[in-house]
């Protein structure tokens, strides 16, 4: 095995020198929006770009930066890899802290190199790791933006990530299943054993292990994200069954199906409050050059195919993938909005109804954890995309910055949420902090907006005795989903 210093030399120095020439002068803003510039791919790329920043953490009193009109403070510190935040209807905030599952097999030299790189990028030094894989409850009793109570609600979980709550039930998306616990609002501990709602693709190889979760606006369905088991199907399509997809799960029965496929690593699942459409942020593939492929945010259509691994951004074919599938490429849908290449977007939250200034009142914040696989760093910030009529409408702008300074990383923004007062919450998994970004004038919303935003069911009038109810019409048969070459078979 190569020593750590040798890996650093092989994995960092050589590719950086070559790739720096390739991206010199490239304008990354040309890859932001609905029609990104896509340079020629480098299909033969034995030494892809690698550039890893040292994680140094936050000094006392140090915070990220926000523009005029906003203020930022630490909402919770001394966490262990906080990944996602979830606000309950009573205003309590749940913070999911997790690490990747242990024991993931490594099949090729590249896997050892990548594992070392990602461990270096995560920081933490040589000290024994603190306990993670838990869910912590944060309570702001007087709604002044400061946490008054903190309780570990669940511990010893299997790499949790996504959450949903409804009907006194807390749903948790772990690394290999969606599980549920009985949980009443206000409780500070869960003692009950979990119930498995449905299994999800897991190990032993579980390359993209984070499983996000969203609840449909009517409260009947759960949506779970399952990332791919590779960069571009190099482990074979058998390893991709049920992956690179978003699953739809009937909350009552546990029955599931593939809702949409061809999404390499989807996260940030959330429903747009205006349109009711499901949205997500997607991490695209690597090793096609420092400026391919742009990560993106997109609405997610039922039964749609978004290209991975056979193509990207619609019909742009990835020639590395064999056998080719031109039939699937022809059906691939192009995403709605590009975020530029390798920003590692993992968080998404809509601001409708939040206590944000007018400039951020109708759109989406996007958490960008940051690149390690391009010669010039990208991401490491929270940005804002304005929306109109349920669609992106304008240029993305940076809002929460300062996570990286002079090539050193203080933190990495991941999951996003809105707290019980209407302020933005940012989970920082390298800085082990949840940040609170609020309006500088102290504006708060009168009542909490919970993450799940369940719509109240419409009242159905009772039938009049003199007019019996008509028999319901027989619905038309659903159009079958395209079959993405075993990448996402229906369950």
Give a yes or no: residue 477 inside a domain: no
Give a yes or no: residue 491 inside a domain: no
Distances (CA, A) of 94 to 70, 83, 163, 187, 441: 23, 11, 9, 12, 26
Give a yes or no: residue 457 inside a domain: no
pLDDT for res 263: 98
pLDDT digits (tens, 9 = 90+) for 308-337: 999 999 999 999 999 999 999 999 999 999
pLDDT digits (tens, 9 = 90+) for 257-305: 999 999 999 999 999 999 999 999 999 999 999 999 999 999 999 999 9
Coil, strand or helix at 47: coil
pLDDT digits (tens, 9 = 90+) for 447-470: 999 999 988 654 444 444 344 444
Residue 142 has pLDDT above 60, yes or no: yes
Q: What percent of the chain has pLDDT over 90?
A: 75
Strands 337-341 and 294-299: antiparallel
pLDDT for res 486: 42
Residue that wins the pLDDT comparison between 375 and 344: 344
Number of domains in the chain: 1
Give a yes or no: residue 466 inside a domain: no
pLDDT digits (tens, 9 = 90+) for 90-110: 999 999 999 999 876 655 545
pLDDT digits (tens, 9 = 90+) for 333-369: 999 999 999 999 999 999 999 999 999 999 999 999 9
Give a yes or no: residue 144 inside a domain: yes
Query: 10 Å Cβ neighbour count for 254?
Result: 16
Give a yes or no: residue 313 inside a domain: yes
Q: Which structural domain, as residue segments, surrounds residue 416?
A: 4-439
pLDDT for res 34: 97
**CATH number of the CATH domain containing 195:** 2.120.10.30
pLDDT for res 129: 72
Give a yes or no: residue 412 inside a domain: yes
pLDDT for res 490: 37
pLDDT for res 114: 53
Give a yes or no: residue 84 inside a domain: yes
Task: Write the DSSP assignment of 288-352 as a string of letters.
Answer: S-TT-SEEEEEE--TTEE--TTTEETTTEE-TTSSS--HHHHTTPPPPSEEEEET--EEEEEE-T
Predicted TM-score (pTM) of the model is 0.87
Question: Measured on CA atoms in the order 301, 302, 303, 308, is the torsion positive or negative?
Answer: positive
């Amino acid at each position: 095995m190569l020593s750590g210093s040798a890996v650093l030399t092989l994995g960092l120095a050589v590719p950086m020198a070559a790739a720096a020439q390739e991206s010199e002068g490239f304008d990354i803003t040309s890859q932001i929006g609905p029609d990104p510039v896509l340079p020629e791919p480098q299909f033969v790329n034995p030494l892809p770009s690698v550039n890893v920043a040292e994680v140094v953490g936050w000094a006392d009193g140090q915070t990220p930066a926000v523009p005029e009109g906003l203020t930022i403070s630490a909402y919770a510190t001394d966490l262990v890899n906080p990944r996602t935040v979830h606000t309950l209807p009573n205003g309590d905030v749940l913070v999911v802290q997790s690490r990747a599952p242990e024991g993931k097999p490594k099949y090729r030299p590249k896997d050892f190199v990548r594992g070392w790189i990602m461990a270096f990028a995560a920081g933490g030094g040589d000290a024994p790791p603190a306990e993670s894989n838990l869910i912590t409850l944060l309570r702001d009793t007087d709604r002044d933006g400061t946490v008054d109570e903190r309780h570990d609600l669940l511990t010893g979980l299997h790499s949790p990530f996504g959450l949903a709550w409804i009907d006194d039930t807390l749903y948790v998306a772990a690394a290999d299943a969606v599980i549920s616990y009985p949980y009443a609002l206000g409780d500070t501990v869960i003692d009950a054993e979990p119930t498995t709602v449905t299994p999800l693709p897991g190990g032993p190889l579980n390359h993209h292990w984070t499983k996000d979760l969203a609840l449909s606006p009517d409260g009947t369905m759960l949506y779970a994200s399952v990332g791919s088991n590779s960069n571009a199907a190099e482990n074979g399509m058998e390893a991709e069954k049920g992956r690179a997809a978003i699953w739809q799960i009937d909350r009552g029965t546990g029955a599931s199906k593939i809702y949409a496929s061809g999404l390499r690593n989807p996260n940030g699942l959330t429903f747009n409050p205006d349109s009711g459409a499901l949205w997500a942020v997607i991490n695209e593939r690597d090793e096609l050059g420092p400026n391919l492929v742009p990560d993106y945010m997109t609405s997610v259509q039922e039964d749609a195919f978004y290209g991975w691994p056979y193509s990207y951004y619609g019909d742009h074919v990835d020639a590395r993938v064999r056998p080719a599938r031109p039939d699937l490429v022809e059906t691939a849908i192009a995403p709605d909005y590009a975020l530029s290449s390798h920003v590692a977007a993992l968080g998404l939250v809509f601001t409708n109804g939040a206590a944000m200034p007018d400039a951020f009142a109708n759109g989406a914040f996007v958490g960008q954890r940051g690149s390690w696989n391009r010669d010039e760093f990208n991401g490491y910030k929270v940005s804002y995309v304005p929306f109109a009529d349920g669609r992106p409408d304008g240029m993305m702008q940076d809002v929460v910055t300062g996570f990286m300074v002079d090539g050193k990383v203080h933190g990495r923004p991941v999951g996003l949420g809105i707290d019980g007062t209407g302020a933005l919450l940012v989970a920082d998994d390298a800085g082990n902090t949840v940040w609170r970004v609020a309006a500088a004038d102290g504006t708060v919303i009168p009542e909490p907006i919970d993450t799940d935003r369940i719509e109240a069911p419409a009242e159905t009038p009772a039938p009049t005795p003199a007019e019996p109810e008509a028999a319901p019409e027989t619905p038309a048969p659903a159009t079958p989903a395209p079959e993405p070459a075993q990448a996402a078979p229906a369950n």
